[in-house]
């Protein structure tokens, strides 16, 4: 009795292991590569096991199935395919990081995956997959500062903390948080030891990031007045839409920054808080 290819494909896509066993009993089938790929992509562990045990597809189809299962985060299917001899692709860790699966990353690392660890760390950080980030850090992934910037861009505070605690530069992170306008992360990075407030102030001001700059000014004021170090400062956010309040805080900038501000940093009139006007409030001195 001939068994139609459509029957295998339908059962594989649905993950119907019982139907696959029935089909295998009727006809072992010459080529089960496509059914394997369909079952692997959908994460059907039992279906994959039946197909592999019926008629082992060739190496290319197993490699394709492994890649699709990795991209989808199906650790159980990946383990079966690795046990069958399927070869990992060079970017397996990156693909696993993209789906944020800690279990899958641990499996791949245990099976010898090493290439692309640094790139995988950046990808996991950009997605806020903190557990995956910690797994990659434990495996020796580098590129901490690029990963930190990715986490800041995505506003993933727990991932930012994990990376700074692992050795990423809080100072570099503070500058980036000021640049992209992430005031909550400005607070967090100052709390984690970033002390380059003047540098971050200039970067945030040039980018027109009023809320982030306001946080920095308040912390810098507390440090300059000796009430608390910058790392202990917990600045309060400016009231939403309160332009006068923001302007009042920023207008205090010149006195707060004082002589300790870097050469070339000058705060002019901070009463205007729109981005175009605020951009002009921080500028280098004119050459004499």
Give the residue with greater pLDDT, 210 vs 82: 82
pLDDT > 90 in the chain, percent: 57
Question: Does residue 174 carry a pLDDT above 90?
Answer: yes
- In degrees and rounded to multiples of 5, residue 241 shows phi and psi of 75, 5
- Structure tokens, 164: 């700074």
Gyration radius of the chain's alpha carbons: 27
- Max mean pLDDT among 207-211, 250-254, 274-278 falls in 207-211
Helices (H) and strands (E) in the chain, counts: 19, 2
Q: For residue 286, is pLDDT > 60?
A: no
pLDDT tens digit sequence for 12-47: 999 999 999 988 888 656 689 999 999 999 999 999
Q: What's residue 271's pLDDT?
A: 32
**Mean pLDDT score across all residues of the chain:** 80
Q: Average pLDDT for residues 169-188, to the nearest whole number?
A: 96
Q: Which two tokens stand for residue 257?
A: 């920054």
Domain 91-168 has CATH 3.30.365.10: no
**How confident is the model over 242-274, as pLDDT tens digits?**
344 344 444 444 434 433 333 233 333 333 333
Nearest to 245 by CA among 257, 256, 237: 237
Delimit the CATH 1.25.40.20 region(s) of the chain.
1-87, 91-168
Q: What is the DSSP letter of 228?
A: S
Three-state SS at 274 = coil
Task: Give tens-digit pLDDT for 138-153.
Answer: 999 989 999 999 999 9
Residue 285 CB neighbour total at 10 angstroms:
9
Count CB neighbours of 118 within 10 A: 18
pLDDT at 84 over 80: yes
Q: What's the CA gap between 143 and 159, in Å, rounded?
A: 14
CA neighbours closer than 13 Å in the CB half-sphere of residue 6: 0
62 in Cβ contact with 85 (< 8 Å): yes
Measure the CA–CA gap between 226 and 129, rounded to whole angstroms: 38
CATH of domain 1-87: 1.25.40.20
pLDDT of residue 270: 33
């Amino acid at each position: 009795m001939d068994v139609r290819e459509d029957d295998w494909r339908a059962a594989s896509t649905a993950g119907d292991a019982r139907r696959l066993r029935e089909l295998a009993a009727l006809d072992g089938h010459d080529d089960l590569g496509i059914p394997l790929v369909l079952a692997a992509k959908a994460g059907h562990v039992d279906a994959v096991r039946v197909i592999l045990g019926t008629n082992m597809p060739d190496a290319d189809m197993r490699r394709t199935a492994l890649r699709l299962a990795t991209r989808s985060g199906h650790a159980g299917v990946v383990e079966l395919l690795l046990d069958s001899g399927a070869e990992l692709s060079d970017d397996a860790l990156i693909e696993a990081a993209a789906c944020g699966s800690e279990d899958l990353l641990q499996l791949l690392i245990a099976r010898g995956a090493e290439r692309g660890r640094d790139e995988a760390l950046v990808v996991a950080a950009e997605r806020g997959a903190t557990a995956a980030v910690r797994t990659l850090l434990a495996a020796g992934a580098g590129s901490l500062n690029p990963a930190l910037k990715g986490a800041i861009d995505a506003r993933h505070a727990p991932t930012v903390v994990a990376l700074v605690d692992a050795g990423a530069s809080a100072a570099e992170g503070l500058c980036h948080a000021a640049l992209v306008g992430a005031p909550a992360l400005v607070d967090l990075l100052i709390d984690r030891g970033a002390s380059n407030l003047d540098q971050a102030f200039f970067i945030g001001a040039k980018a027109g990031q009023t809320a982030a700059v306001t946080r920095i000014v308040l912390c810098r004021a507390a440090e300059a007045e000796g009430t608390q170090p910058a790392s202990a400062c917990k600045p309060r956010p400016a009231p939403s839409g309160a332009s006068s309040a923001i302007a009042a805080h920023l207008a205090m900038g010149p006195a707060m920054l004082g002589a300790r501000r870097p050469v070339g940093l000058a705060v002019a009139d901070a009463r205007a808080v729109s981005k175009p006007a605020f951009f002009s409030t921080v500028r280098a001195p004119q050459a004499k």
